[in-house]
Amino acid sequence: MNRTGLSSRKISSNLYLRFDRDEWAKRRGNLNVTLSKNDIRKILALNDKITASQIRDFYFPITRFLQLSINNNRNLYTERNSFIGINPKKVPFIIGVTGSVAVGKSTTSRLLKTLLERINPDYNIYIVSTDNFLKKNSKLLKENLMERKGFPESYETQELINFLVDIKSGISHTEIPVYSHLKYDILNEKQEIVDPDILIIEGLNILQVNSLGRQDEIYVSDFLDFSIFIDADVQYIKQWFIERFFMLMDTAFREKDSYFRKYSELTREEAIELSSSIWDNINGKNYSENIIKTRYRAELIIEKGKNHNIERIMMKKL
């Protein structure tokens, strides 16, 4: 899978170990979590696909490694607090999940949350989408950024940084904005995060390192204890985006309060033309200009093939 030429192949070879399905599956150890068909249905995003065998062979080893990292992280903080001479304070473990629109970030986040909850039934585990930190539509319109929604400059990045500072400082109760995909805007509601043990933050630009006018030079990635990049050939991602558009036409777009209700009556030809244009001018552009450039900052890369099937895992050596 070649995205940026010789330099990328060299980076991949030097920094990452590559595992096919059989090799990676060997690393699940004795992890054995049962998920019913109904559990899997609840986890899947609209047009994502995953089987129980894929979960066993790919996500069990990922979860096992995450659990090792979580345990080591807690031990480190205990020893560090002892060394400094301060009272121990619970510091949540933060997992970042990133990649393009329509590549399966939400499914992976929900799946990891479910598996980690089965292993740690007493843990409070939350998923937070960076969509919750998008600028309100009124502000995007004022700044002429509506056609750049999802690009780094469309986020209230400083608010996201402030939230992560609170989380890593051990503050037990925080509130963040809520984004509605149905209304395509920030709502007048708040999501509460109470006494978290694990936080999974999912979004397009969490591995970005450009400051975009923030007050500091602290980045979202500075707060991540582990990061996962989900990727596939861009032709597949575009096709998944178009397929999802068609499914939304028959579901969410038909809702009375849907921002996209006007698209629910498009003909097939009109829908293909519009969704392709949206991909080419917005989501695909964001992928090529911003998202893919952060791929090799992740600790683990999940590479998908056609039909969302995972083909290989790449894990950073260091």
List, in sequence order, every residue forming a beta bridge with 134; answer none if it has no partner: 155
CA 164, CA 214: separation in Å to the nearest integer?
15
First to last CA, the chain: 22
Can you give the CATH number for the domain in which 258 is found? 3.40.50.300
Asked, for residue 1, whether it belongs to a domain, the answer is no
Asked, for residue 230, whether it belongs to a domain, the answer is yes
27 phi/psi in degrees, rounded to 5: -95, 10
Asked, for residue 184, whether it belongs to a domain, the answer is yes
Residue with tokens 């939304």, as numbered in its chain: 248
Residue 277 in this model has a pLDDT that exceeds 70: yes
CA 59, CA 66: separation in Å to the nearest integer?
10
Number of domains in the chain: 1
pLDDT of residue 6: 38
Residue 9 in this model has a pLDDT that exceeds 60: no
Q: What is the mean pLDDT of the chain?
A: 91
CA 172, CA 67: separation in Å to the nearest integer?
22
Kindly report, residue by residue over 228-257, the tens digit of the pLDDT.
999 999 999 999 999 999 999 988 898 888
CB 169 within 8 A of CB 163: no
Q: What is the DSSP letter of 127?
A: E
CA 224, CA 71: separation in Å to the nearest integer?
15
Asked, for residue 175, whether it belongs to a domain, the answer is yes
Domain range enclosing 281: 6-316
Asked, for residue 170, whether it belongs to a domain, the answer is yes
